[in-house]
Structure 1
Amino acid sequence: MKKVIIISPAYPLRGGISESTELLYLEYIKKEFDCQIISYNLQYPRFLFPGKKQTIFDPKKKNFNIIPLLNSINPISWYRTSKYINFQKPDYVIFRFWNPFFSICLGFLAFFLNDIKKVGWVDNVFPHKKIPFQKNLIKFFLKKMDAFMVMSESVKNDLNKFKINAPIHKSLHPLYNNFGVKLNKKLARRKLKVDPNYNYILFFGFVRKYKGLDLLIDAMSNKLIDERKIKLIIAGEFYENEKYYKQKIFDLNLSKSVIIFDHYIDNNEVSKYFCASDIIVQPYLSATQSGITMIALHFNRPVLATNVGGLSDYIKNNQNGYLVEPNSKKIVDSLLNFFDNKKSKVFEENIKLMKKQYSWSNLVNSFESIFK
């Protein structure tokens, strides 16, 4: 039986990195691999974490083979983890990388491994918010890997900027299929306690500056949006100044048009937000790929996204959503096109046809192909 170790945040740590790592782990188990996740007992020091808490409780995950050995700022834990991995003798180790803050921890851990193949599973090469010495930190990690797996052309291009010798493989980000089944729209709206007589667009996930929420709020102030009875649902924890956005909503007289759920959305609550909405909007100013896109496609919801980074790998303009320039007028034009031309059914059918390519089985097969 082949043995694979994934080094990544995982339960009880929260967020898209953890969720997707656990789904990859489950696919390895399904394919009868001996697989385990080595996670962090300390991911971020409290003063560096912008959210309210770093963990969640989910009893369904208690039997996952997750071992929290790593402390991102404690070198002793890096060495102890390497000894554990060397003893396990896996066929290869997958290092999840998304922020150069972890470069020293992961780089030294990789350095301590004895003749074990190492794959960097890279979500982002560059962080959304710059940190000191980030290029040096990124290089330090990249040099320790034997190969890389990316999920967008954008990340592949960023890796190539470092002129690394290791091969880069690409496999599309799979769907998040762990948030339950699709709900009837009327039922989802009833669960959310929103007026069923309006159209709804959804901004979902952590609110950060690069996600361009202010562009979407500006778009909502267009009178043509109001005439079509469109409301905006914002669902997620604010990692930026919440008062700024709420003041902007107030100043534009949008208090009745914008509904805010300003907290982390638990897994068992996710489906009602997506299923209550007609279209998901990602007005990002920068991006690589997005887990939010993959949740939307899982629930057969079209996505209006800005044409930045790797989002175009997943959104095909006027097929399963819209790709627009990052400005409020283009967002308004696409929303009008969507609602005026009743595109929902056509987009949903297209999404159903596209979904097979976004599978966890494909991603496992891609990892397996690296060292064949």
Structure 2
Amino acid sequence: MRIAVVGPAFPYKGGGAHHTTELARRLAAAGHDVAIESWRAQYPGFLYPGQQTIAEPEGEPFPGTRHRLDWRRPDGWYRTGRALRAYDLVVLAVLSPVQVPSYLGILAGLRRRAPVVALCHNVLPHERKVYDEPLMKRLLRKVDGVLVHSEAQAELARGLTARPVRVAEMPAHLPASGGVPADDGKVRRRLLFWGIVRPYKGLDVLLRALAEGPGDVGLTVAGEFWGGLDETRELIRSLDLASRVDLRPGYVPAADVPGLFAAADALVLPYRTATASQNVWMAYEHGLPVIATDVGGFAEQVRDGVDGLICPPGDAPALAEAITRFYAPGEPERLRSGVRPVDHGPVWAAYLEALTALTGGAR
């Protein structure tokens, strides 16, 4: 098939660009003729407070990538849709309702000449605005099928559209790590919180748990703050954690990631809510166990007591207890020994099958 994937691609940063690029590569390896339609300007700055693009891409760009979309040019949305009429399948990578107006413009240009699948990373945002649900409802009712990454997201999508909805586990689309570092057997008494910092990710819960847990355990927090940096600094001060928390606000270049993981005993994911995340796979690629809350797919990814620990969300005492259990004598070493690299080939094969199967009933 001729397949066009519409979504962020390098030099955009983060999981969305990695996923779009890896999806295109996997589809091409499966024998499809693939192109990426990406952006030269995706969001206005006030809607995306973080850094959108970087000078050095975090991976090898897909050769069939075009950067023609611009949030300021609705006429370009329509022209892109017209250009995609010759394709057998158009995949819209949906990361935010902010993308919906441009995707509706593309659909107007397509005029239903090609089947369209909405690949929803999140059906609705974790932190919602009043316009999110109406926008997503309008988009999902105009496509031919919807692909999501969990049953909870499928239920949400089915509440917005009567179109077919399929679930497939999100496979890995990780930046190159250089392999798992050698385990020197040392316990560093340091945990890692990594990635964009937003309220639903529960950093405040982790800080409170850190204050309640073993007094000699440190924490590195590395990532862009989407607000709340001053409040986080004040919380660290009020909990008397200044000497134990290494706060590194700002974008973390891919080249710096291996060092961050090598300096920690475990990655902590104290999320209040989640859909699908690459962070568990990222930790395992670097040989680290994971302490995570029981939200989204974490309980399926982390084998509780084998390569990590699972605890309830939004519960600082429970997370403090998990940290204490993690640092029981011999436990960091035992849990690290349980970490195994994951074979993502079968997961990708199932993902591509689910995606292309959604075109079965389309024109």
Distance 1:357 1:290, change over 3 A: same
* 1:256 corresponding residue in structure 2: 243
Distance 1:63 1:177, change over 3 A: closer
> Which stretch shifts more, 312-321 or 204-213?
312-321
Q: What does residue range 320-339 of structure 1 map to in structure 2 within 5 Å?
A: 320-325=307-312, 326-339=314-327
Which residue identity does 2:196 align to in structure 1?
Answer: F
Q: Select 1:235's aligned residue among 197, 206, 222.
A: 222
Distance 1:270 1:235, change over 3 A: same
Q: Once the 2 structures are TM-superposed, how far is the Cα of residue 204 of structure 1 from its aligned partner?
A: 0.5
**TM-score, structure 2 length as denominator?**
0.90
Aligned partners of 1:184 and 1:275 also within 8 Å: no
* 2:14 corresponding residue in structure 1: 15
**TM-score, structure 1 length as denominator?**
0.88
**Corresponding pairs, count:** 357
* 1:54 corresponding residue in structure 2: 53
Work out the CA distance in 1 between the residues paired with 2:62 and 2:358: 29
- Matched position secondary structure for 2:327: helix
Structure 1 residues 125-174: Cα deviation after superposition (integer angstroms, max 9, x where no partner):
11122223222111111011111111122211211222x22222221111
Q: What does residue range 11-50 of structure 1 map to in structure 2 within 5 Å?
A: 11-50=10-49
- Matched position secondary structure for 2:200: helix
Q: What does residue range 98-117 of structure 1 map to in structure 2 within 5 Å?
A: 98-113=95-110, 114-117=112-115
Structure 1 residues 256-288: Cα deviation after superposition (integer angstroms, max 9, x where no partner):
211122221112222222233221111112221
Q: Select 2:295's aligned residue among 301, 308, 313.
A: 308
Work out the CA distance in 2 between the residues paired with 1:353 and 1:12: 28
Which residue identity does 2:127 align to in structure 1?
Answer: K
Work out the CA distance in 2 between the residues paired with 1:338 and 1:59: 32
Q: Does residue 213 in structure 1 map to residue 203 in structure 2?
A: yes
> Which stretch shifts more, 341-350 or 279-288?
341-350
Which residue identity does 2:197 align to in structure 1?
Answer: V
Q: Give unmatched runs, 5+ long, in structure 1.
A: 188-195
Q: Once the 2 structures are TM-superposed, how far is the Cα of residue 347 of structure 1 from its aligned partner?
A: 4.0
* 2:193 corresponding residue in structure 1: 203
Q: Select 2:123's aligned residue among 119, 122, 125.
A: 125
Q: Select 1:366's aligned residue among 335, 354, 358.
A: 354
> Which stretch shifts more, 288-297 or 146-155?
288-297
Distance 1:4 1:323, change over 3 A: same
Q: Give unmatched runs, 5+ long, in structure 2.
A: none
Which residue identity does 1:58 align to in structure 2?
Answer: P
* 1:193 corresponding residue in structure 2: none
Distance 1:239 1:197, change over 3 A: same
